[in-house]
Structure 1
Amino acid sequence: MKQKINEFKKWDTHHHISPPFFEEFIIKNGNKDVYGLPHAKWSPKLMLNWMNNINLEKAILSFSLPGIYYGDIAETKAMARKCNEYMAELIKQYPDRLGGFATLPLPDPNASIEELKYALDTLKLEGLGLLSNAGYKYFGDESYEPFWEEVNKRKLVVYVHPVQPEEGVNYTLLNYTYYLKMDTTKTIVDFMRSGYHKKFPDIKFFLSHGGGVMPKVMMSALKGLEKENPNIMNEFEAWRSQLFADTALVGYPDEMLPEVLNFFGANHVIFGTDLCWAPDKYKYFVQQISQLDLSRSAFENLYSNNVKAAFTDKKIPFKPLNVQVTARKRSIGTVNHHVHVNPKKVTEFVTDKLGRTLDMNVKDSEIMEKHNNAMVSMDIPELWQLPAKERREALKLYNQTIAMMKEEAKSKAGVFAAIDLDDPKYSLEEIEYCLKQLDMDGVCLYVKIVGKNYGEMFDEKLLEKLEKINVPVLIHLKDSNAKPVLDFNYHDSLSYMYSLLYLDKLEHMKKVNYIPTHTDGLLDFLARASNSMYYIDPETHKPRIGKIIWELLIKKREVFKDYVKELKHVY
């Protein structure tokens, strides 16, 4: 059922305020802008106008980025109190229209318990508003146990908003389209890893922006923890009814929003606008939601009924939903197409140089014979720990050995030269040698992107070389021992692609047959959201109006989304 923008009354749980004292405070602490974006404009009058424009019956207010903790707990406690009292006074003026999520002085758990009691018992706020990390401490931190015990005892709602992760590089717009989304998911996975989901099962979490990337990567993240907790998948299924996701900035009806609805279920998706940070976009996203083919009751649940139910003490069981994903789907590759072969000769070399045994199963020529049509690359995380000279020796040994293995096995598998992104001068020589002398079938570019500044990510000569070689280029992380989500470098192939896009390298990307690996389907899931990076100048971080007019308004196309759709292989 298609519906009009104002047809249903709405409750908004993703609704920020930014009074002058808050803006002054974060500017004083070094934030002249917020990850490259100007401070949001807000006033009570603006807020009520926004609410009335989309039939917003009630907004649950919260303070947002970049938070109130800058290393001084006394200062943080004072600001938390000021924020909560301001919110409470505002709610008194509009009691039927507003509610509030309390700001707390984390990472201090004791101070947070004290403020929690005041905010809820005296100020009568509805729940807690927490950032995904505070001082780079995530929800599973062992020092948080007494805090979560108090939250669980009260069966509270905890609204979770992402913040910049510990990696700390200011990736400007890439933070908003990717890294912050990842951080929301990371803190929930961290909560589960600690076992708090079993100790404190009565806390309801409202997760911003559709749960971040949870619909695509949660199963992969939990699978990565099965060695630590073999029952973690079953535990998640039992606990997932405590998780809710809002629709703020995820209202793309072709893929992202259906994936969120299908993952969280019919009664666990709630409405969010991201006001005051999205004053130019909130109507657009409501219109996008309206395109979904849902029943009237499903729209009513999404807009208000689900969140009203969540604010009760009742458990709300997960109820599956099956919304059609209409975006063109690519079959995600399996091990039958992209395999790792780690020759014994190479693993012995790395073992000898490191002076310790590698914790891995050596794969040899049997793989070559079994997977005739596979793309073959190496996966030896310990190799990248070697000094530069020894690392070069190991890579050359691998490339020579794997080329010989293919010839001896008379295999039709494609063997990919192991190339180090961080050693461009040697890599240029090795690409030439592997393709011309060893007659290899492609290049596997091993990357480590997260934590680097934009200026040190790419070597222009190496990028130019990749444009000219006319063979497939696998993008592979260096540390496959990393845990999905908990270690951002696990998804370094995504960081590679997104960083190229933001640095205005889309034309380069079109000239190279890139094959990103270990993506967990995120490249498709985030394609429309990340498309916005194409229209932003990476130096000024301002919109490029000419591109917006030409591509979006005249051509009516989303160029990065279209590029992603045309990729032949994504793993």
Structure 2
Amino acid sequence: MSDPIPPLITLEEHFIAPGLFSELSDIYGEQLKHVPDVAARLQDVGPLRLSDMDTNRVALQIVSHAPGLGPRPPALSRLANDTLAGAVRDNPSRLAGFAVLPMADPEAAAAELRRCVRELGFVGALVDAHVDGTHYDDRRFWPVFVAAAELDVPIYLHPTFPSEGQLPTYEGNYDPGAARNLGSSGFGWHQETGLGVLKLFAAGLFDAVPGLKIIIGHFGEMLPFMMERVEKLSIRWGARERNWRQVWEENIWITTSGVWGLAPMACVLKNTRIDHVLYSVDYPFEKNENGLAWVRQLRDSGMVTPEELEKIAYRNAEELLRVRAPVVATESKP
């Protein structure tokens, strides 16, 4: 008989503030008109979301605004964060917040991060992986990472849509819809996010801010598969106080968001600390029930012990974010 599934904490779970839905129609309008249920769930941070969590053993969601606000005026990030703070106040045992930051204005972004952590009680930030194609190795962005380290909260680097300059990279002798998907969830999102982390390492950010905590989703945005090659070749990138492997083990956490397979997990377990692997879903773009089915598959595979499954499910998130999963009813053993 299988062990019961532990309570789950998820970290890459999104909403769009109702007051900003039209503002972001340029990037979400075409996508969401085909999936109206997702549009409705994005705008709900209340009963609909909580009911879905209850059904699928999600004890606590760390909620963040959907991508796209990074290049836009700081006032929009503030509005989104204030909206989320209200939802968290209404359900403090079930919801916590990651701030969205106006990364195009790094000083404003750092100030907003401080406000969200100190005044709103948020547990970190989730930001677009680049701003209009510019990654954060540029030192003008570093005050944001310094602020995160001073506050002792993580920054979650999340994929975002390609800039106008990046779009031609994904165009070719195929349908424009294929190009759009290759540039986003089909491949480009993950490539650009993984590359952004490597550029932070190459630029020396982790030496300059040794206490920095970075989270990336989708089983590490391709980096675990490339781990040994990057470790070998990054010696050509210049002298570092710590090598790539040390930074990976000490400064980077990864989540399972939206990748429901055991093959990527097998790779992760070979080269990533189990203490740095966290469960996530990518709700509502991904379904909580698909994530729960994957957790059951992982449990039954024998790849992890019951204690390791608990770490992935919720204990690692509790330690990293200083949150607690509320008590949930024990799942009956299938």
Match of residue 311 from structure 1: 321
> What amino acid is aligned across from residue 92 of structure 1 in structure 2?
R
Distance in structure 1 (CA, Å) of the matches to 2:34 and 2:238:
41
CA contact (8 A) 2:88 2:95 kept: yes
Identity across matched positions, percent: 18
1:245-256 → structure 2 map (5 Å cutoff): 245-253=254-262, 255-256=263-264
CA contact (8 A) 1:209 1:250 kept: yes
Change (3 A) 1:36 1:206: farther
Change (3 A) 1:87 1:35: closer
Q: Residue 290 of structure 1 aligns to a residue in which SS?
A: helix
Query: Is residue 211 of structure 2 the alignment partner of residue 202 of structure 1?
Result: yes
Query: Is residue 301 of structure 2 the alignment partner of residue 292 of structure 1?
Result: yes
Q: CA RMSD in A?
A: 2.5
> What amino acid is aligned across from residue 316 of structure 2 in structure 1?
N
Match of residue 167 from structure 2: 168
> What amino acid is aligned across from residue 305 of structure 1 in structure 2?
R
Deviations 1:285-316 (A, max 9, x none): 3343333312111111110111111125xxxx
Query: Is residue 258 of structure 2 the alignment partner of residue 261 of structure 1?
Result: no
CA contact (8 A) 2:253 2:276 kept: yes
Query: Is residue 18 of structure 2 the alignment partner of residue 20 of structure 1?
Result: yes
Match of residue 61 from structure 1: 63
Q: 1:98 aligns with which of 92, 95, 100?
A: 95
> What amino acid is aligned across from residue 236 of structure 2 in structure 1?
K
Distance in structure 2 (CA, Å) of the matches to 1:204 and 1:225:
20
1:535-546 → structure 2 map (5 Å cutoff): none
Flag as ranges the 4+ runs of structure 1 deviating above 6 A.
Answer: none
> What amino acid is aligned across from residue 8 of structure 2 in structure 1?
K
Match of residue 399 from structure 1: none
Shift of 1:200: 0.5
Shift of 1:81: 0.5
Query: Is residue 280 of structure 2 the alignment partner of residue 272 of structure 1?
Result: yes
Deviations 1:247-276 (A, max 9, x none): 1122312x1111123322211100101111
Match of residue 84 from structure 1: 81
Shift of 1:33: 2.3
Q: Residue 281 of structure 1 aligns to a residue in which SS?
A: helix
Q: Residue 172 of structure 1 aligns to a residue in which SS?
A: helix
1:118-197 → structure 2 map (5 Å cutoff): 118-166=115-163, 167-169=166-168, 171-174=179-182, 175-197=184-206
CA contact (8 A) 1:189 1:222 kept: no
Please report the TM-score for the alignment, with normalisation by the length of structure 2.
0.83
CA contact (8 A) 1:249 1:285 kept: no
Shift of 1:192: 0.4
Shift of 1:282: 3.4
Match of residue 115 from structure 1: 112
Q: Residue 130 of structure 1 aligns to a residue in which SS?
A: strand
Distance in structure 2 (CA, Å) of the matches to 1:287 and 1:177:
25
* Bigger Rg, which one: 1
Match of residue 176 from structure 2: none
Shift of 1:222: 5.0
Match of residue 326 from structure 2: none
> What amino acid is aligned across from residue 280 of structure 2 in structure 1?
G
CA contact (8 A) 1:64 1:161 kept: no
Distance in structure 1 (CA, Å) of the matches to 2:83 and 2:125:
15
CA contact (8 A) 1:35 1:173 kept: no
Shift of 1:218: 3.6
Shift of 1:91: 0.3
Distance in structure 1 (CA, Å) of the matches to 2:208 and 2:34:
39
- Greater relative contact order: 1 or 2 (C-alpha under 8 angstroms, separation 6 or more)? 2
Q: Which runs of 5+ in 2 are unaligned?
A: 171-178, 323-334
Please, which moves more after superposition, 214-223 or 295-304? 214-223
Change (3 A) 1:265 1:190: same
Shift of 1:93: 0.5
The number of residues matched between the two structures is 303
Q: 2:246 aligns with which of 238, 243, 255?
A: 238
Q: Which runs of 5+ in 1 are unaligned?
A: 313-571
CA contact (8 A) 2:275 2:312 kept: yes
Shift of 1:114: 1.6
Change (3 A) 1:164 1:226: farther
Please report the TM-score for the alignment, with normalisation by the length of structure 1.
0.50
Distance in structure 2 (CA, Å) of the matches to 1:51 and 1:246:
18
Distance in structure 1 (CA, Å) of the matches to 2:237 and 2:309:
40
